[in-house]
Amino acid sequence: MWIVNCSNHAGTTSYTYNFEIGLGNEYKGYTYNGLLRWNGTNEVSIIQNPISQNIVKSHGGPDTSTVAKTTSWANSTTGHKTRWEISYNRYLMGNRTTDQNNSTATHELGHTIGLSDLYNSTNKNKVMYGVGDRTVHTPSSYDIAGAREAVK
């Protein structure tokens, strides 16, 4: 199972991103690992471009239980994303394993494609499972099928 956010999906197989100035190398590394996982599906091509409006950044503080968040803006006519931003919570990610953080980055990049969170515990074997105890760290065949629909 997968869910495409029909009012805010990618609508393209190729897009770019850039890092916020000063983003720590560890967060860049998590992002690179997530990109390799999605780019390896052959459904999307996400590449770094220094003038991209799609930004990966971080924030810190114990004021939220959200490990990372993707915010998107879309064209009101087409529903396609026009811009997105991923923000990693340094406070929470600093207490997790590299595997967990790579999985989080992969999950957040799934949102940039247009995939929604899955909350039913039967979806723990999908990278878009919206709870931290997912059992996979790379896109499953279901995630890939969702991505294929999201880029239409």
SS3 readout for the chain:
CCCECCCCECCCCEEEEEECCCCCHHHHHHHHHHHHHHHCCCCCEEEECCCCCCEEEEECCCCCCCCEEEEEEECCCCCEEEEEEEEEEHHHHCCCCHHHHHHHHHHHHHHHHCECCECCHHHCCCCCECCCCCCCCCCCHHHHHHHHHHCC
CB 38, CB 109: distance < 8 Å: yes
Instruction: Identify the band that residue 78 occupies on the pLDDT scale cut at 50, 70 and 90.
Output: confident
Q: What is the pLDDT of residue 103?
A: 95
CATH, domain range 14-114 = 3.40.390.10
Q: What is the pLDDT of residue 1?
A: 66
Cα–Cα distance measured from residue 133 to residue 127, given in angstroms and rounded to the nearest whole number: 10
pLDDT at residue 65, as a whole number: 87
Confidence of residue 113 (pLDDT cuts 50, 70, 90): very high
Question: Does the pLDDT of residue 34 top 80, yes or no?
Answer: yes
Place 76 in a pLDDT band, splitting at 50, 70 and 90: confident
pLDDT band at 4 (very low <50, low <70, confident <90, very high): confident
The per-residue pLDDT for 7 is: 66
Q: Is the separation of the CB atoms in 74 and 81 below 8 Å?
A: yes
Ranges of each domain in the chain: 14-114
Q: 43 vs 74, which has greater pLDDT? A: 43
Whose CA is closest to 87, among 26, 143, 20, 15? 20
Kindly tell me if the per-residue pLDDT of 72 is higher than 80. yes
More confident residue, 151 or 48: 48
| Residue 64, pLDDT above cutoff 90 | no
